Each structure stands twice: as structure tokens, then as C-alpha cells.
Amino acid sequence: MKWTASCFVDAAILALTAASIAGCSTTVPYQVRTGVVHAPTLQQMENANMERGAPVLIRIYKEGRSLEVWKQNRTGKFTLLQSYPICKFSGKLGPKIAQGDYQAPEGFYDITPAQMNPQSSEYLSFNIGFPNAFDRSLGRTGSFLMVHGGCRSVGCYAMTDYQMEEIYGLVEEAFRGGQDRVQLQAFPFQMTAENLTRYAEDPNAAFWEMLKTGSDTFSAAGVPPKVAVCNQRYVFNPPFGSTDLDPSVSCPSGIDPTPISHARL
């Protein structure tokens, strides 16, 4: 079955579509594309002491409408490689709660090679990985939430085709270089104390405070944090080194067990 970058796809429709494709030999498949890293970005890698196939990390900020690609340099630290203006995202500041709410997700997600879609109907796309363990522990629903080209969105982060060509290429080359998963950090805004103060009365303030902890952990270490979920909350770089926790039960000793106050559960 070839899935597309449609952000809210009913499972029954997908099943019918797959059946029709399988039963019709004259169906024209989507064009298979690959990403292309453009010459200025290759030069930036050289200037920043980065191997071309080194690991990458993606950071998204709704307020400011930017998608950043960070890349590991030869010292082992991740530094900003490129920032791209987001062409369109739907919804407002705040996490995605339910299928059909037209919200783009916020949180910490993993992209694997299986989530890359070179046959996307939206030029190129990759699945963010929503819902993750944190989302599922809260009963949040949704499917096929993407970063994709096409500059239109009903729950995804949409880029121009030219931007998406390079973003896809950077992720693709990191996978070819040996990275097994790319962390995507989606934030409402730059995670500063000043911004959290601005939104202190927002019902999502406690959730955003938790996201700031993960953002700060990355900033301090210069490498993506290990992310786990217990007690329906994110924990970063668990002290015992394991990320295999039960999202719905109390956190083990050594991890702050205090749950956050979740908005709109």
C-alpha cells in the first residue's frame, strides 16, 4: 500500500484505495523522488566541520514558523545547519489532542527510514510519528501527521517543494550514513523563560514547561536527549540509561514522579 501525505486519512478509505490499486494494473504509480541537498548547504557543512552523512536533528517552532535542521559536526556536537520558513501549518499553539482537530503536533518524535515517503502525493514527505508513547498514554488520536511539500496543511507541517527536497535529502543522507532514527522536536515557540512567562496563563503552560526541559537538555549537552515516558510525562536522559519505561505507571526511583497538569484531556 502506498500511503500519501494526507494528514487525516480514514483507515477504511485507505483500505479501499489499496485494494483498488492492487486490482488495477493500469493504475499509474506516484513518481518516486529522492531528496537533493543544494550546493550552498553542502558548503555550509564544510564550513561547519560536518561530514555529509553525519546524523541530523529537526526542530520546529510554530511561533516564528521555522523548521531547523541541526547536524552533528566532527567534534560530536549538533549545531544549526539550516533554518527554513514553514510555508503552512494548521491549528494554533498547543498539542494535537484528537483526530480531526486540525492541530499540528508538539512534542518529541522519532523518524525512521520506514517513515520516509518518496512516493508522496505532496511531492515528498515523512511521517512525524504521532501519536508517540506520551500521546498514546493520554488517549490522543490522529494518523499520518507529516512534514511534506505542497504548502497546504490540515494538521501537518507543510513546506515548499524546493525546501522539502533539501530537508528530505538531509534526512535521507543521514540514514545512509548510519543514523537509525532522527529526533524531531516540535515546539510552540522558542523555549525561553521569557516566552513561558508570556504564556503562563495558557492551559498548556505546564506541558510547555516540560517541553522546555527537553529543549534545555539538548542545548546543554549538544546532542539529542534520550526520551522516555512514565507517569504520563516525558523524561529526558533517564539516570539508569534505559528508555524502556511504562508510560502509564509511576516513574522509577530517581525520576521525578510528579505528573504535569495536562490541558484538555
Residue 245 has pLDDT above 60, yes or no: yes
Residue 166 counted as domain residue: yes
Residues spanned by the domain of 129 = 32-191
Rounded distance between C-alpha atoms, residue 153 and residue 146, angstroms? 9
Residue 67 counted as domain residue: yes
Query: What's the confidence (pLDDT) of residue 204?
Result: 96
For residue 10, what pLDDT band results from cuts at 50, 70 and 90? very low
Least confident segment among 23-27, 120-124, 135-139, 204-208: 23-27
| CA dihedral angle for residue 10, residue 12, residue 14, residue 18, rounded to 10 degrees | 180
Rounded distance between C-alpha atoms, residue 229 and residue 242, angstroms? 11
For residue 19, what pLDDT band results from cuts at 50, 70 and 90? very low
Residue 245 counted as domain residue: no
State the chain's mean pLDDT as an integer.
85
Q: Is the dihedral of CA 50, 52, 53, 55 positive or negative?
A: positive
Q: Whole-prediction pTM value?
A: 0.85
Residues marked active site are found at 148, 156
Query: What's the confidence (pLDDT) of residue 22?
Result: 30
Q: What is the DSSP string of 115-173?
A: GEETT-TTSSEEE---S-HHHHHTT------EEESSS--SSSEE--HHHHHHHHHHHHH
Is the link from the previous residue into 203 a cis peptide, with omega within 30 of 0?
no
Residue 170 counted as domain residue: yes
For residue 264, what pLDDT band results from cuts at 50, 70 and 90? very low
End-to-end CA separation in angstroms for the chain: 33
CATH assignment of the domain containing 111: 2.40.440.10
Report how many domains make up the chain.
1
Task: Find out whether 104 and 62 touch, Cβ atoms under 8 Å.
Answer: yes
Residue 24 counted as domain residue: no
Residue 90 counted as domain residue: yes
pLDDT tens by residue, 78-101: 999 999 999 999 899 999 999 999
Residue 80 counted as domain residue: yes
**Based on C-alpha coordinates, what's the Rg of the chain?**
19
Residue 213 counted as domain residue: no
Query: What's the confidence (pLDDT) of residue 3?
Result: 46
Query: What's the confidence (pLDDT) of residue 128?
Result: 95
